[in-house]
Structure 1
Amino acid sequence: MAIWKGVFPAVTTKMTQDSQLDIPALKSSIERLIENGVSGVIVLPMLGENASLNMQEREAVIRAAVETANGRVPVLSGLAETTLENAQKNAKAYQSFGASGLMVFPSLGYKTDPRETAEWYKGIASATSLPVMIYNNPIAYGVDVTVDVLKELIDTPEIVCIKEETGDIRRVTDMYIEFGDRFSIFCGVDDLIVESSALGVTGWVSGMTNVWPAECVKIFNLCAQEKFAEAREIYRIVTPSFHLDTHVKLVQYIKLAEHLVYGAPEWTRAPRLPLVGAEREYVEKTVKKAIDDLANYQG
């Protein structure tokens, strides 16, 4: 079974101004990520507007990513469904489209209790042979895959990785104490990556890597080498922008940041709308300051 490590950007789904898929822009952005050293890509995450796409569009995104990656890095797909039946069906479909792994959300239609949460992940893992990353974000989805829940999943070999996004930095150490190296543990919060790396995470699912892939890979690699003083220099430059990754409008914020940094389309699908007024000005000011400071960075 796969052992994932390194920086895995949660890839934004590029769209035209009339809300249609922009596959050439998507493929170009994935190529840019790979050229700048990421270790994998995750398409159709929440940041990729998974819930706003129909099945034909999801297939097009996965196939485009797999074609672009061409075996250089693994291509994971987000799996976000409301029922176990649909989740199992789509897990099989995504495997047939070429995905090499799944990042699985909790049920979006119901806040499962711990017993139900364990059964949800067991049921999905049983549907394919693909390795599974658990997307644990109780802040957004109200379901926490706790250490006790993970105890119920130890004997499910397809579950190999946890995207840790509780915001409680202590959880990383708690998981290592309980499970050793049974699961890969990925930081899922951009503005906790240095802190999480100090505690031993093996990977990072990152939104802002879409914007600054080389810099994010450098931060991660410096931390992996325990060169934390050097990592902090870059981290302090980009952390105000990293805070944008924790906002409810992270899709709009990160797409606008991509647009400002390298000209990618900022368009989203309704109900998300383009940023305007003071909110847009704040994001632009934050990102442009990081652009300027990175240009002057001597590291």
Structure 2
Amino acid sequence: MAIWKGVFPAVTTKLHQDGSVDLAATTASIERLIEAGVDGVIVLPMLGENASMDMVEREMIIRAAVKTAKGRVPVLSGLAEITLDRAKANAKAYESFGAQGLMVFPSLGYKTDPRETVEWYKGIASASSLPIMIYNNPIAYGVDCTVEVLKELVDTPEIVCIKEETGDIRRVTDMYVAFGDRFSIFCGVDDLIVESCALGVTGWVSGMTNVWPKECVNLFALCQANKYPEARKIYRVLTPSFHLDTHVKLVQYIKMGESLVYGAPEWTRAPRLPLVGAERQHVIATITKAVADLKTL
């Protein structure tokens, strides 16, 4: 099974103003990320508006990402469904489209208890040969893959990685104590990356890497090299922007950042609407300040 490590941006799906997929802009952004040195890409994450895409669009996006990557980095796809049968069917489908791994959400339609959560992930793991990253974000989805839950999944070889997004930094160490190196542990929160690296995470699923790929790759590399004084300088500049990654409107915020920094389209699909008023100005000011401060480093 794959051993994932490094920076894996959760790629935004670029859209035209009418809400249709802008495949050219999406693949251009993936190329930009790979050229900047990321170690993998994840298409159709929550940040990629997965739930709003139909299967035709999902197939188009996965195939285009794989074609763009050309084997240089692994291409994972988010898998976000309501029923286990649909999740299993789509795991098979995404494998046939060329995805090399899955970032699997809990059921979007029901808050599973621990026993049900175990069966959800075991069922999806049985549906394809793809390695799986568990997307553990109880703040957003109400389901927590605790250490006790993971103990029931440790013998499922397809599950290779945990995207840790509880917001409780202690969980990283708890998993290492319980499992050693059985799972790759990725930080899933931009504004906890330096703290998570200090505790030994092997990777980072990042939203703001879409905006600043070179800087984020450099930040992670400095942490991995234990060069924390240098890392903190970058982190303190970017943390106000990283806070935008933890807001309910992170899709609009990060797309706005991409638009400001390199001209990508900011459009999202309804019910998400373009930013307006004071909120829009706050995001613009936050990103603009980071751009200026990065130049001083």
Interval containing the TM-score (normalised by the shorter chain): over 0.9
What's the counterpart of residue 35 of structure 2? 35
What's the counterpart of residue 267 of structure 1? 267
SS in 1 for 2:47: helix
* Paired residues for 1:201-240 under 5 Å: 201-240=201-240
Task: Give the percent of matched residue pairs that are identical in Structure 1 and Structure 2.
Answer: 79
Residue deviations 1:168-202, cap 9 Å, x none?
00000000000000000000000000000000000
What's the counterpart of residue 124 of structure 2? 124
What's the counterpart of residue 282 of structure 1? 282
SS in 2 for 1:134: strand
Q: CA deviation at 1:95?
A: 0.3
Residue deviations 1:251-290, cap 9 Å, x none?
0000000000000000000000000000000000000000
Residue deviations 1:91-115, cap 9 Å, x none?
0000000000000000011000000
**Corresponding letter in the other structure for 2:207:** G
* Paired residues for 1:134-213 under 5 Å: 134-213=134-213
**Corresponding letter in the other structure for 2:189:** V
Tell me how far apart the structure 2 counterparts of residues 296 and 56 of structure 1 sit (CA, whole Å).
Answer: 45
Tell me how far apart the structure 2 counterparts of residues 295 and 52 of structure 1 sit (CA, whole Å).
Answer: 37
Q: Which runs of 5+ in 1 are unaligned?
A: none
Q: CA deviation at 1:295?
A: 1.4
**Corresponding letter in the other structure for 2:210:** N
Residue deviations 1:134-166, cap 9 Å, x none?
000000000000000000001100000000000
Tell me how far apart the structure 1 counterparts of residues 28 and 268 of structure 2 sit (CA, whole Å).
Answer: 17
What's the counterpart of residue 52 of structure 2? 52
What's the counterpart of residue 242 of structure 1? 242
Tell me how far apart the structure 1 counterparts of residues 228 and 150 of structure 2 sit (CA, whole Å).
Answer: 30
* Paired residues for 1:64-79 under 5 Å: 64-79=64-79
- Number of aligned positions between the proteins: 297
Are 1:294 and 2:266 counterparts? no
**Corresponding letter in the other structure for 2:264:** A
Tell me how far apart the structure 1 counterparts of residues 65 and 291 of structure 2 sit (CA, whole Å).
Answer: 27
SS in 2 for 1:296: coil
Q: Which runs of 5+ in 2 are unaligned?
A: none
Tell me how far apart the structure 2 counterparts of residues 280 and 64 of structure 1 sit (CA, whole Å).
Answer: 31
What's the counterpart of residue 18 of structure 1? 18
* Paired residues for 1:67-106 under 5 Å: 67-106=67-106
**Corresponding letter in the other structure for 2:116:** E
Tell me how far apart the structure 2 counterparts of residues 86 and 12 of structure 1 sit (CA, whole Å).
Answer: 23
Tell me how far apart the structure 1 counterparts of residues 73 and 186 of structure 2 sit (CA, whole Å).
Answer: 17
Tell me how far apart the structure 1 counterparts of residues 136 and 115 of structure 2 sit (CA, whole Å).
Answer: 15
Q: CA deviation at 1:296?
A: 1.7
Tell me how far apart the structure 1 counterparts of residues 77 and 189 of structure 2 sit (CA, whole Å).
Answer: 18
Tell me how far apart the structure 2 counterparts of residues 223 and 296 of structure 1 sit (CA, whole Å).
Answer: 20
Structure 1 length as normaliser, TM-score? 0.99
Residue deviations 1:30-63, cap 9 Å, x none?
0000000000000000000000000000001101
SS in 1 for 2:39: coil
